[in-house]
Amino acid sequence: MRSRTVGGVAHDNEPTSGLGDGVLGGLERRNAIEAVRLRIGMAISLGMLHPGERLPDQEDVARGLSVSPITARRALTSLAEDGVLVRRRGRTGGTFVADPPNAEALRQLVVPAAETVEVHGLIDRRLLMECALAHFAALRATNEQVQHLDELTRRMAEAQSWSAYHQADDEFHRSVAEVAAVGTATTEYLKVLEQLYGYFIPYPIEQLHMSNHDHIGLVRALAARDCATAVEISHQHVDRLHRTMFVGLLEAHPVGDSSDPV
């Protein structure tokens, strides 16, 4: 059991596993359970998760959202109590998006507008750092390291859920940073990466598979020691987050307007 703070947000006192206990940072302080509630609720409001859709198993939800299993369980239970999710027992049971989900509850699960400014700032910081990492990784990658990264792109290509994809994606970007071998700068990059992962919401697997094309291109550039191409691919990959991460979607289609899928 322990307590820690990431991005100015206090975490629950509970054991961790998997990727850690990343949560929404930002201007508004919220605990880890509320952060998970918000992330799943926004994914439903933005049409990333659909009424009747089955969520991954509880342990996979925890790993996919970088939180502890206890946090995931409590958040899913709370969303079910609010009528956003439905939990069913039996062989065909599991956790599903309610059909329809409670619209009033979903309207309460929105990131404040001021907080989206912080997310864009994190994306810009990641952009600068990841381009530098790509440059040095292209100079230093060994054949064994390239093979490991290539295997991770295959894992992402074969992933059947956003949770499985996110776990491989996390390992991929951490591995590129390890290959770059830029000392303490890697620690700073990983802090930014963890903060951004705290804003990750479930995306359709088809959209994530499209994003993996950038990873595949980056591995090819590293194998060819092509620094310019590696940097350009990394630039495009991260810059795209301004439009495709939920902050861009919220700005284009605010939750609660006429385009709301709920």
C-alpha distances out from residue 199 to 5, 39, 83, 99, 123, Å = 15, 7, 23, 25, 11
What's the DSSP call for residue 88? E
List, for the chain, all residue ranges whose pLDDT scores fall below the cut of 50. Answer: 1-29, 257-262
pLDDT of residue 114: 78
pLDDT of residue 253: 63
What pLDDT digit, counting tens, does each position of 184-215 carry? 999 999 999 999 988 889 999 999 999 999 99
Q: How far is CA 15 from the centre of its chain?
A: 20
- Give CATH for domain 113-249: 1.20.120.530
Backbone angles phi, psi at 124, to 5 degrees: -65, -40
Angle between helices 113-140 and 184-197 (to 10 degrees): 140
Domain edges within the chain: 22-108, 113-249
What's the DSSP call for residue 96? E
Fold classification of 22-108 is Arc Repressor Mutant, subunit A (1.10.10)
205 CB-contact burial (10 Å; exposed 0-12 / middle 13-18 / buried 19+):
middle
pLDDT of residue 254: 63
What pLDDT digit, counting tens, does each position of 155-187 carry? 999 999 999 999 999 999 999 999 999 999 999
pTM for the predicted model, two decimal places: 0.83
pLDDT of residue 110: 85
pLDDT of residue 212: 98
pLDDT of residue 255: 59
